[in-house]
Amino acid sequence: MSCCAPGVEQSVDAITSPETDDETLLLASRELKNGLLQLEMAVPDVSCAACIQSIESSLNKLDMVENARVNFSTKRVRVSFLAGSGRPSDITKAIMKRGYRTFLLDPDLDNKGDKTLAGLVRALAVAGFAAGNIMLFSISVWSGADAITRDLFHWISAIIAIPAVAYAGQPFFRSAFSALRHGALNMDVPISLGVILALLLSLFETFNSSQEAYFDAAVTLLFFLLIGRTFDHLMREKARSAVRNLARLAPRNVMRLFDDGRRELIAINEVEKGMILEIGAGERIPIDSEIISGTSDADLSLVTGESVPQKITKGDELLAGSANLSGVIIIKASKPAADSFLARMISLMEAAEGSKAGYKRIADRAAAIYAPAVHILSFGTFLGWGFISGDWHIATVNAIAVLIVTCPCALALAVPIAHVVASGRLFENGIMMRDGAALERLATINRIAFDKTGTLTKGQPAFIGQFFGDNKMQQIAANLGASSRHPFSVALANSISNVKAIEGAKEVPGFGIEAEQKNGTWRLGRAEFCNAQDIKNSQAGSSVWLSHNGKAVAGFTFVDKARVEAKHTIDLLKKDKLKLVLLSGDKKQPVMSLAKEIGIDDARYSLTPKDKLEILQNYSKAGDDVLMVGDGLNDAPALRAAHVSMAPSSAADIGRNAADFIYTHNTLDAIPFAFHIAKRTANTVMQNFGLAIIYNFIAVPLAVSGQVTPLIAALVMSTSSILVTLNALRLRIGGNKIITKNTKIIIPNDPYISKAAAQ
């Protein structure tokens, strides 16, 4: 399987020779902060944990390299390096010195089909055909054929096996030869040795008219390895296709409009903040932007999960990946394409695939030392049997069996295949995770802390009215509110016409907005921020205050309704015996009212970002593993401090950057779904480790003691790898997509959710 293969599979992404010049590499690099550049290249020869460690260690030794990370799923390496501190070609040379090819990437070639899969299918067909026919002859020999017939069948088997092994074994042989040529060992080396030695020993036995030959073992081993590798490749390609499909949503070019009336078609990567662009009907929105002219209908399903088209008009904000359906609109770019919503989602997916979780790091370290251990054990078996029995023929057979049976495929696949399947399930349901370590942490939580506004509520509070102060103050408050994205500020700004954002207004996270004007200092926000804590408010709902030079001059009331799925989500989480707490900066009345409505018994109100942080730290000291769910500026410290965190895609940039999981459909049912997938993944990983350990505990002593023939070793080893893969594939069965229907969350066939909760 993947740890024992691919060797030199052809990359569909490769477009340049390894001798790429410095100028080309610099042009292909993406500029980061602080003088750093990022270069991403294909490394199609990566086949196991030892390969990854070899490439990363080689690159990290270069003075110019800040960080290097190999993504096993996509077979790519991402290198961050200091501009001007060295030659970019040194990066490619360092990879090549380790025996691996490397290429620049061309996304256009993704459309030309999966050449690797086609090659795997051909090799699998050849190995399967040969194994089936050789097994027929072997059965005849085992049934008691006479010497002449036995020798004839052995020669026929040799004629079938030699070309079959030569063709079907190419990925393994080339990878092993490349590793040995550069003084390294990988998982393909013992497999290649086992297959070649079994074939050579069989030819020797056939020449000498012996009773035993092992052509069936050599070919059957390749057949089963190719079955497992095809499974693994299909699952990894499924995960990669999610990233590719996201990337394809972004158009390559967009029409730019100039102030003098000129129009020019430019590449997406040339778009800068503030550029004016024209989007025709049927085109995708290429970057995060604001509509400055035109009205249309838009498909926002990628962002909100809502398939019903929504009307969009001047002033509306759009995220990259949304589709313009009916009319021409003029938009103003809010960010460059590299920082758009779509780019962040792609980055999250790639980070999740290339992550190194705790269990995965353990498996990688075990696999890295496994290859030399296998050779030592096999050589020790050969010497032991040779000196003890004096029969070097038996010693050779047993050594070959040990080489075959000890391939660590099951161990190397235990974690990555489970995480690949799990990340695919999460992505299909609109949930992006940063890395596998976050998935592991999510499985261990025993408490969930929720933010209120924008998380448990719709985040779109309705303006009710002014309950304190001169009514003329509403215009000033609305002008201040136009400078903020906070839901209360947006609602206030939308409550009145002719709103003009106040220049120089700045947001104070967790408190409100402040603006220094000629006539004094204006503040809009919390009561204590505006010195209004002593003013009584009998109104229901949340309140926002306006102050001038430290004196409260107006108060406004808002109501933010709970999400329709909130109560049922809380009920599901209670069924899982999770402790729940509501942490909000809002005042007591709306917080307690919401907590009672949705069923949260522990609710805290009037909290600052520092208060939330201290509460989470206290929970951690008490031994609780907390999942923090929130959005917005004031939740970022808590999101970072929590054991694991989630945020909706509608959250502020700082909130999304701090969260471990992003749910793009903006519905709370993502929380129990992600938790259940995390629990199932953790169980699957432990089961896979158990299968690998039990297999080695039983098979290795039997092989060393001479109780296992090369054929049985091939069957048992390959079967263990396939079992690990099939066990991981169970994550795709049961717990189908969560559907919100009539305000009830239905999660069918999921063993982690009680029937009562799903009713």
Residue with structure tokens 């972004």?
A: 250
Q: What is the DSSP letter of 256?
A: E
The answer to whether residues 121 and 29 touch, using CB atoms and an 8 Å cutoff, is no
Task: Find the helix or strand (DSSP H, E) in which 79 lies.
Answer: strand 76-82
- The CA distance from 181 to 8, in Å, is 14
25: which residues sit within 8 A by CB, 6+ positions away?
39, 88, 89, 91, 92, 104
What is the C-alpha to C-alpha distance for residues 673 and 680, in angstroms, rounded to an integer?
11
Residue 278's DSSP bridge partners are 255, 330
Torsion of CA 476, 479, 481, 482, to 10 degrees: 180
116 close to 124: Cβ distance less than 8 angstroms: no
Strand segments (E) across 446-529: 447-450, 462-469, 506-508, 512-517, 520-525
DSSP 296: E
Strands across the sheet containing 296-299: 310-312, 296-299, 323-324
Quote the tokens at residue 313.
């008009």
Residue type, 516: E
The set of catalytic residues is 451
Could you give the CA distance from residue 230 to residue 233 in angstroms, rounded to a whole number?
A: 5
Within 10 angstroms of residue 521's Cβ, the number of other Cβ atoms is: 12
DSSP E strand stretches across 166-247: none
DSSP-based three-state secondary structure for 722: helix
Q: What is the distance between the alpha carbons of residues 134 and 718, in angstroms, rounded to a whole number?
A: 18
| Partners of 254 in beta bridges | 266
Task: Name the pairing type of β-strands 253-257 and 276-279.
Answer: antiparallel
> Do residues 57 and 185 make contact, with C-beta atoms less than 8 angstroms apart?
no
Task: State the sign of the Cα–Cα–Cα–Cα dihedral 750, 751, 752, 756.
Answer: positive
Task: Specify the amino acid at residue 722.
Answer: I
Q: Which residues contact 358 (CB under 8 A, 6 or more apart)?
A: 437, 440
What gap in Å lies between CA 666 and CA 650, rounded to an integer?
7
CB 91 within 8 A of CB 225: no
- Measured distance CA(212)–CA(398) in Å, rounded: 13
Buried b or exposed e, range 372-398, using 16+ CB within 10 angstroms: eebbebbeebbebbbeeeeeebebbbb
Q: How far apart are the first and last CA of the chain?
A: 42
